[in-house]
Structure 1
């Protein structure tokens, strides 16, 4: 796991995720389009943080749907709960969990999102199996992470993966790659489908 991850458990550091430059570096529209959440869907945002994607996804699924915002950080969960309530988004359920142990029911979600966290996951085989378990048949898992290159921000280049490396790691579990996309200037995106 990237050594700086633990700092996101501290509320003061967590709020740095609200940097106004984030939308330039990590624009929401390409990711939301790839997730393709529609009314009534159940969407899991794994590593939801402050709700950068969970909140707009909640608007997309509407009151008939639900966004399961999973995060291991108590500070992140508290802040996200507050933000969802202030936005009137009762369809956001904030859950204590991780990529390896989401706490979600089997075959219970239509879409899952991992945004800039693949490199953070300590036990990827367990986490990939967890995505296979929670997604419904035909469900889609969107993975976005940092390009494997040196930048002035983000994790060190040696902690990053290429999209091809991720496909090679995920494919043996039965997931089918259905899309590659460019979510932003410093990230790559993949969409996998559960058979």
Structure 2
């Protein structure tokens, strides 16, 4: 009898495995990185999926992020409208810099929502907190991340937004994987990138990304493309959902 039962036991276990409450799909495989000697002083020589990763805008360029003409050049007001933020949402502003976008989004998620402004540079994190306090934004929380990890708990945010950030990530695979983990199932992950397709946009080529490139790199993490918003003057907004 035991011999007979053993013939069927492997099949039963194999069929039942996906139904276990602790079952998790296999994580995506990292494509890896290629390192070459930089071709210029402002090049990194580090490639991911055939794309050269750009250098990082440091805290010394913080004033450029706060320039008065930014609203007209990038129409960040239209960006916030397009995100369709709702009261009570928890939003992660990844690579928040000075917290410029965090402050624009803050009123839309009140009274009970909050913005988690994440940056890898301590000087930027300090500035985020200071500007939020000085301007009365009490629902902005500043968090310092690592180059490869957003340092957020699992499944806590309804939406993660990267404004002109993803192309600068030193470890895009690892960082995006951590962002996916921090996003609730069914939540949104939004890439806002300067349009590589438009040569007239006055931004260095390494700081631009095409929509096709964004979608290709997001697909590694099994994100579901939802829509692309193209009516901003300089950037496209590519919206994905984390599968439920």
Structure 2 counterpart SS, 1:29: helix
Tell me, in whole angstroms, the C-alpha distance in 2 between the residues paired with 1:113 and 1:98. Answer: 17
After superposing on structure 2, the runs of 4+ consecutive aligned residues of structure 1 that deviate more than 4 Å are none
Q: Whose relative contact order is higher, 1 or 2, with alpha carbons under 8 Å and at least 6 apart?
A: 1
C-alpha contact 2:158 2:183 (8 A) present in aligned 1: yes
- The counterpart of 2:87, out of the listed 22, 26, 39, is 39
Instruction: Give the structure 2 partner of residue 9 of structure 1.
Output: 59
Give me the TM-score of the superposition, normalised by structure 1: 0.89
Q: Can you list the C-alpha shifts for 1:132-184, whole angstroms capped at 9, x where unaligned? A: 10000110011110111445743x21453211111012123221111100252
Q: Which has the larger radius of gyration?
A: 2
Structure 2 counterpart SS, 1:44: strand
Instruction: Give the structure 1 partner of residue 166 of structure 2.
Output: 118
Q: Can you list the C-alpha shifts for 1:100-154, whole angstroms capped at 9, x where unaligned? A: 3111100010011000112101222112211210000110011110111445743
Indicate yes or no: 2:100 matched with 1:52. Answer: yes
Give 1:95 deviation, angstroms.
Answer: 0.6
Q: Can you list the C-alpha shifts for 1:76-119, whole angstroms capped at 9, x where unaligned? A: 22222111112222210001115631111000100110001121
Instruction: Give the structure 2 partner of residue 89 of structure 1.
Output: 137
Gaps of 5+ in 2: 1-52
Aligned residue pair count: 190
Tell me, in whole angstroms, the C-alpha distance in 1 between the residues paired with 2:154 and 2:147. Answer: 14
- The counterpart of 1:101, out of the listed 149, 171, 185, is 149
C-alpha contact 2:192 2:235 (8 A) present in aligned 1: yes
Alignment of 1:65-80 (within 5 A): 65-80=113-128
Gaps of 5+ in 1: none
Note the aligned Cα RMSD (angstroms): 1.8
Tell me, in whole angstroms, the C-alpha distance in 2 between the residues paired with 1:160 and 1:169. Answer: 14
Give me the TM-score of the superposition, normalised by structure 2: 0.72
Tell me, in whole angstroms, the C-alpha distance in 2 between the residues paired with 1:166 and 1:80. Answer: 27
